[in-house]
A and B are shown apart, each in its own frame.
Chain A
Amino acid sequence: MDVCLDTKALTRTFSVPADRTKKATRIRAVNKVDLTIRAGEVVALLGPNGAGKSTLLDMVLGLITPSSGEVRVFGRPPRESIGEGKVSALLQSGGLLRDLTVSETVELIASTYHHRPPIDHALERAGLVALAHRKVGKLSGGEQQRLRFALALLPQPDLLILDEPTAGMDVNARHSFWEQMHHEAHQGRTIVFATHYLQEAETFAQRTVMMMAGQVVLDGSTDWVRAQAGGHRVGAEITPDRAEAALNQLRQRPDVLAATGEPAQDTVRLAVHTTDSDAVARLLLTQLQATRLEIERGSLDQAFAHLTAGAPA
């Protein structure tokens, strides 16, 4: 498959202005990131705030220049690929002129492309026909986001980059947004989206790239990333007199990442975080005489907490 996006040791530092307590320092927002994304992939760029996701995407889009390293989009510098309309993006916030109407905004952005994409079609696709003559400043947050989405789709890009696209949307808007993205992905567009909504990565991306402190810490299929970092959570109840011994035994196992006991009425609620839920379940039911067994697949939320705590993955 063709390579859409390729970065090599991509790094960007920023100066943090001096304040009363310390001198000006430089921080590495993105630190030697190697990333290759191929045509047709749907990739989640996952990480907490300040992980460097937006800075990485800004470099991919040519909005800021790298401090060192290299970024290529369709084998060329980002500005060239943007100039041809092969890549476009939906940015996190701002970016619109409040005193223009919706259709004027679309018309303006469309006029910058060589092939002059049709405006009506873009308005229709984003469900903005009824709002075409409304001023941007009078749109709700969700409506503004739909307008940005329409602008991003104008050039019919091969690669679509979304920086926290559903921030500020309510549940319904979020749902219909991802339905539309599914539609775009089915048409063969490559999609890279930054998010800290872990559920969005789980439901929409085949591949997840997890970033922390400017570096890629995990990169693979979303299922694999979850298995690596998340494991499973096994819950069970046990009588209080057996709890202490059971916890000790569980904690000695190499496949148990963490085990805790929460006293409840007449019983202790065990919670075991493990990479091998079958083995732990068998042990709990056969030897430890635990009851009310529950197994949950670990969410990426847990993966975050896990990696952030510096525990072995």
Chain B
Amino acid sequence: MNLVNPTYYRLELRRLRRDYVTLFFTIALPAFFFLIFGASPEYGDEPVRNGNVAMWVLINMTAYGAVTATAGLGGAVALERMQGWSRQIGLTPLTDRQYVSVKATVSATMAAIVILVIYALGFATGAEAPLREWLLSGAILLAGSLVFALYGLNIGLAFRSEAAVSAAGGSLVILSFLGNIFIPLGGWQLTVARFTPLYGYAALARRPLTGGASFDQSTGEVLAASSIWADVANMAGWFVVLATVSVWLVARSRSRQA
């Protein structure tokens, strides 16, 4: 049988469409941030290598949007588990691998929608970069966002309640500040930021545009390019951490009496 069950995938997309309030805010919030911090200010037209600052802000805000989308879906998986849906699925021939594949494909679809809509908005309102940079950064945003489905899943499994939704949303805002996404950091703040989960993801997505350079908002000085391997190591390290925690939390929930 197919790894991704097409009927299940189609019905999952229908569920996403029904939950249009979540869908709307997942896209509207980062789009709004971009319009305020990227498209409107005068510095948006300042050049950054092949593009402009508006593009730089656009990539950051889209990273935030894509991550909230996948983390939200990961959290929904945890909620489904707690409500016994995984037991119902466990009574069918559908394997864990097939279930995870459907969910991963749905998350990727959702992230792709968020990226496409916000990128289209950015394109229409002044973000500039060569086509290659648009495509590359979009692809990195999409692939990397899947890692953070695990982040939502972990929070959902750990909290075991609807409070997980606030915990995931709130913590992603904080991690976005710490991850050099909302405000360009410098000095000791940047040193700390390099070790936080969203830093590597956003830095890699910006790299086609910036070549790895960043700047410090408080001083306005341009900071020298960092090594691509540091960003990859951040992303890979956090992937291992999140995956390990997921395996542990799922095992814990299975060994407990329901």
Contacts and interface: CB of A to CB of B under 8 A. Distances in A.
Contact of B255 (A15, A85, A100, A151): A15
Interface string A103-116: 01001110111100
Interface string A71-115: 000000000001111001101011111011000100111011110
Interface in B89-141: 89-94
A129 interface: no
Interface size class on chain B is 20 to 34
Interface stretch (A61-69, A171-179, A209-217): A61-69
Contacts, number: 75
B19 A109 contact: no
B166 interface: no
B93 A95 contact: no
Contact of A94 (B18, B84, B91, B92): B84
Contacts of A97: 15, 80, 85
A114 B1 contact: yes
B91 A113 contact: no
Contacts of B256: 14-15
B173 to A, nearest CB: 26
Contact of A100 (B15, B91, B93): B15
Contacts of A112: 5, 8, 89, 92-94
A91 B7 contact: no
A102 B97 CA distance: 25
A107 B92 contact: no
Interface in A106-133: 107-109, 111-114
B5 A99 contact: no
Given A15-B255, A29-B257, A112-B5, A107 B88 contact: no
Given A16-B257, A85-B93, 9 more contacts: A14-B256, A29-B257, A88-B91, A91-B88, A91-B91, A94-B83, A96-B85, A111-B7, A114-B1
Q: Which are the 6 A-B pairs with shortest beta-carbon distances?
A: A94-B84, A111-B7, A95-B88, A95-B84, A112-B92, A112-B94
Interface of B: 1, 5-8, 11, 14-15, 18-19, 80, 83-85, 87-94, 254-257
Interface of A: 14-16, 29, 55, 61-64, 82-85, 88-89, 91, 93-97, 99-100, 104, 107-109, 111-114, 148, 151-152
